[in-house]
Amino acid sequence: MITHAASELLECLAAEGVVAWMTGDVRGSLTKREFGRLIDSGKWFGETLRHHAESPSLIRRACDDFRKTYEETGARDGYVSVPLRPHPGDDAQALVDAARSMRREVGRPNLLVQLPATDAGIDAYQECLTRGIGVNSTGILSVERYRRVLDAHLTGTERALEDGVRLHDITAVTSLPVGILDAEVNRELDLCSSAEAVANKNRAGTAVARLVYRQRETHLSGDWWRVLRTAGARPPRLMWTDLRAWHVPALVGWNTAQAVSPSVLESAAARHCLRGDNLLNTHLRASRTVRTLKSLGSDPELVARSLEPHCGTHRHGENTGAVPENSVQRP
């Protein structure tokens, strides 16, 4: 079970509008009774399953574990995000067909189907929303890619409204694996042995996340989105994945989620204090960070372009390659 300090951290995050999602290693590390108590604590609002081979019965059980949260929050929270199995590749129609098949097999309203934020995955995301299928767009690593996902979200929601789909029943999550971006930019900064390069390690993920957050706030401020929202549409929730402990306090903002492992949560509770919302109106500072990284020879946008075609199928929620906690340069 998690410690009292970690439990308090979850409460503080919730007060700031941040919900915590379990990563796949939580379920396997606890007994059924311990896991049940953890769910009943009301401090976890969703779960990401890691493996493509999860059977429909296991997925149904996971969805049932979070059904109470789903019902008590009016279908806002309590979702389980699951990769497609087997993954159909870079074919939009195949992705849609696989998503429809998984939803039919599982038969639970709080299922989210993971779709990679590739070109085909974004097309499939739009079509799934039109059909009323809950989705999680994964592997978003740049503002431009996220902008395309938001465009698909608006179009898919509009078409769903035209087709008579109840917009309140459509849920979408958009996931940005900040740790992956940090790790790849860090590798490029290692080629530059200056003190400034060392000081700017582990800042790329946070900077891009803040720019993505700004993109959502501006993109969804138009008149047409207000019409859709009046009809019951919900904005896609931003979820930060592949987190290290320092990301937890650095990525606090309303209507966001953090996919955290127990070890990351405990480390964040022991070493880092929350400093309130630090995503809203932080885009100028984030832009300066990106410019600094470019001057040091690592362009996060170019890094994202190289990673995004492969990142959407990554088992998000895990830590993959960021530098050790004791060598972190805090953003």
Residue type, 2: I
The overall average pLDDT reported for the chain is 90
Query: Residues near 207 by Cβ (< 8 Å), separated by ≥ 6?
Result: 286, 287, 289, 290, 293, 300, 331
**Straight-line distance from the first to the last Cα atom of the chain, in angstroms, rounded to the nearest whole number:** 30
Average pLDDT rounded to a whole number, residues 85-101: 89
Rounded Cα gap, residues 322 and 186, in angstroms = 8
Tell whether the torsion through CA atoms of 241, 246, 250 and 253 is positive or negative: positive
Buried b (16+ CB within 10 A) or exposed e, 288-299: ebbebbeebebb
Using alpha carbons, list the distances in angstroms from residue 128 to 65, 85, 215, 228.
Answer: 24, 17, 22, 17
Q: What is the pLDDT of residue 312?
A: 56
Q: What is the pLDDT of residues 139-163, one digit of tens each?
A: 999 999 999 999 999 999 999 999 9
User: Under DSSP, is residue 132 helix (H, G, I), strand (E, B) or coil?
Assistant: coil
Using alpha carbons, list the distances in angstroms from residue 298 to 191, 290, 329.
Answer: 10, 9, 17
Q: What is the pLDDT of residue 324?
A: 44
Q: What is the pLDDT of residue 92?
A: 96
**Structural domains of the chain in order of their starting residue, each with its CATH number:** 4-319 (3.20.20.70)
Average pLDDT rounded to a whole number, residues 300-312: 85
**CB count in 10 Å sphere of residue 8:** 13
Rounded Cα gap, residues 153 and 282, in angstroms = 24
Q: Among residues of the chain, what percentage have pLDDT more than 70?
A: 92
Rounded Cα gap, residues 280 and 222, in angstroms = 18
Query: Computed over its alpha carbons, how large is the radius of gyration of the chain?
Result: 19
Average pLDDT rounded to a whole number, residues 57-72: 93
Least-confidence region, from 134-138, 203-207, 250-254, 271-275: 271-275
Q: What is the pLDDT of residues 203-219, one digit of tens each?
A: 999 999 999 999 999 99
Rounded-to-5 percentages of helix, strand, coil across the chain: 55, 10, 35
CA angle, residues 233, 149, 240, in degrees to nearest 5? 90
